Structures are given as C-alpha cells and as structure tokens.
Amino acid sequence: MREPVRARAGLAALTLLSGVAVLVTMVPAEAMTSSVDRATALFVVRDRAIDESSGLARRQRLFVTTNDSGDTGRLFVLNRRGRTVGVTHWSDRSLDTEALAPAGRRSVWVGDIGDNRQSRTSISINRVSVGRGQRDVRPRTYRLAYPGGAADAETLIRNPATGRLYVATKSPGGGILYAVPRRPSRARVNVLRRVGPVLATATDGTFLPGGRFLVVRSYSRAALYRWPSLTPLGSFSLPGQQQGEGIAAGRHGVLFLCSEGVRQPVLRMLLPTGLRRAVEAATPGV
C-alpha cells in the first residue's frame, strides 16, 4: 500500500531497539553478529522492478517478495545476494496484493487483501507455486469475507504447525486477527472468524518456527504474542526503514524485514533478549 513515505533510512542509520541504540550496517552474511543490539542488512534488493515490496516469505535459502497495489500479479524470487533468480506471473491483474505467507516447499500464499476504501465485498488468497526462472502459473484462489463487513488488511500469516491461515486487519485504532476456515471452499465465499486484537496499523506478521509464538509488525514497531491464547508478551522498536511492510522468521529468534522503495535492504535482526529467552524456554531448539 502506497502511503506518505517516511524519512528515508540509510544503511548506516541509528534507531532504537527496545531502548537500545541500534546501528544498521552492511556486512557480509557470514559476519553477522548474534547480538540483540545490532541489526544488519542481509542484502540489498538489486532488481529495480521491486519498488513496493510488501511481503516476505522464506523458501530454503531463497526469499520471495511481491509489489503491492499497482503491479500485475507477480512474485520475485531472490537469492542471498539480492539478485532476482525467478519471476512467477500468477495474474494479469490483482486488486491490491499486500502479503505473502509460506505454503509448502514450492509454494506461497499470496494475499490480495488490501482495501483502503473498505469497499470490497470479498478479498482473496491465492496459493501460487514459485521457483527459479520465468514461469506463468494458475493459482488456487479462495475468496474470503469478514463477518462484520469490509476492512483493510496487509497481513497474511500461516501457522507452520497446523497450516491454518490468518488475516490481520490494519487500523489506527487496533487491528483484529481473523482465522481462515481450516478447509476453505473454492466454490463459495468463506467467512472469516474473529480471533482477537493485535497491533494497530499492522503491515505484516509471521509465526515463529514451531507455531507457538506470533509476531505482528507495523511500520516502526512489532509485538510478540503467545499462541493460541494471543497473550501479548511485549513490543519492541524495529530498525529504521523507508516503509517497512514485510517480515519473515528464522530459527533462534531471527527476524527478516523488508521495505518499500527501490534497492532497499532486507534486514536481519534478533528478538530482544527477554522475549527471545521466553521463546527459547517454551520451544527448546527453535
């Protein structure tokens, strides 16, 4: 979703992470520090066609992203040098693509869920196969509707333990997490089920490995929730980005962040120490 652009953050900008000054620097991937006080640029997105990155999903050692409203339905597969190694075209026209979620070894879920004017009678999620090289595919599409009427959303999340999908709405007054039916139908509109409140102005979210903790981000902050109670465990500042709209999770409390804008870095950071310890205590080895 294109909104007024925040002050551009350079690759050597100071920001705050849980009250601690954070230096965002470009360093080789093999030299990444594990310190919670440091966020690093894993790579810079080199493809100038990626100018409104609005979702991020990990596929083994590759990343998948998509532009939001205004582009055709296409997905970009990036390696860890920031180079595009695959482009998948899944639609000639999407209404407002805003989010991605993992969907298996060779697929991602694409959320055509944006609705700034809150005028859509239904939104859609699409299971799309992705990989290296150029490809044109036909997705599996499922239509969804909110129980209380239209809402704007930029967050599509999949629980890795159960495979269940969730949509979080975006609202200055506070977002709401909704569950997609466990077995959605392709023949009719599927009504979402309200789960509970989450971070306001949510731009993306991800489950941590194991599916017992959920992270929801906004442009400048993120919040960690215990699952399935949706109990908030704490929130924390994110590194400065031009317009941060994507997040994906790795092991051991690692988060990856992407941003709108041309040639923006994908950042790697750790959960703050206290939250990371809570996660590790509940899910050893994750």
Edge-first strand order for the sheet with 53-59 is: 53-59, 62-67, 73-78, 84-91, 133-136
- Would 83 be classed as within a structural domain? yes
Provide the residue range defining the domain that includes 257. Answer: 36-282
Tokens of residue 249, six digits: 């999770």
- Would 27 be classed as within a structural domain? no
User: Locate tokens 């941060």: which residue?
Assistant: 244
Tokens of residue 285, six digits: 């080895």
**What's the CATH code of the domain at 47?**
2.120.10
Reported for 211-217, long-range contacts at CB under 8 A and 24+ positions apart, including other chains, are 211/159, 211/160, 211/161, 211/162, 212/161, 212/279, 212/282, 212/283, 213/279, 213/282, 213/283, 214/157, 215/247, 215/249, 215/255, 215/271, 216/155, 216/168, 216/175, 216/177, 217/244, 217/247, 217/257
Tokens of residue 108, six digits: 């991602």
Cα–chain-centroid distance for residue 106? 18
pLDDT tens-digit readout, 184-235: 999 999 999 999 999 999 999 999 999 999 999 999 999 999 999 999 999 9
Contacts of 154 (CB under 8 A, 6+ apart): 1, 54, 68, 98, 99, 111, 113, 114, 170, 202, 203, 204, 245
- Would 1 be classed as within a structural domain? no
User: How many separate domains does the chain show?
Assistant: 1
- Would 246 be classed as within a structural domain? yes
- Would 147 be classed as within a structural domain? yes
- Would 169 be classed as within a structural domain? yes
pLDDT of residue 33: 30
pLDDT of residue 18: 35
pLDDT of residue 38: 67
pLDDT of residue 104: 85
In sequence order, what are the beta bridge partners of 39? Answer: 24
Annotate the chain with three-state secondary structure. CCCCCCCCCCCCCEEEECCEEEEEEECCHHHCCCCCCEEEEEEECCCCCCCCEEEEEEECCEEEEEECCCCCEEEEEECCCCCEEEEEEEECCCCCEEEEEECCCCEEEEEECCCCCCCCCCEEEEEEECCCEEEECCCEEEEEECCCCCCCEEEEEECCCCCCEEEEECCCCCEEEEECCCCCCCCCCEECEEEEEECCCCCEEEECCCCCEEEEECCCEEEEEECCCCEEEEEEECCCCCCEEEEEECCCCEEEEEECCCCCEEEEEECCHHHHHHHHHHCCCC
pLDDT of residue 105: 82
Mean pLDDT, 10 residues at a time, the chain of 286 residues: 44 35 33 49 97 93 91 94 97 89 94 96 97 96 97 98 97 95 98 97 97 97 97 96 96 96 96 94 78
pTM: 0.86
Distance CA 155, CA 181 (A): 16
pLDDT of residue 60: 80
pLDDT of residue 113: 97
- Going by C-alpha positions, the residue among 214, 273, 213, 217 that lies closest to residue 244 is 217
pLDDT of residue 283: 79
- Would 23 be classed as within a structural domain? no
- Would 213 be classed as within a structural domain? yes
pLDDT tens-digit readout, 223-237: 999 999 999 999 999
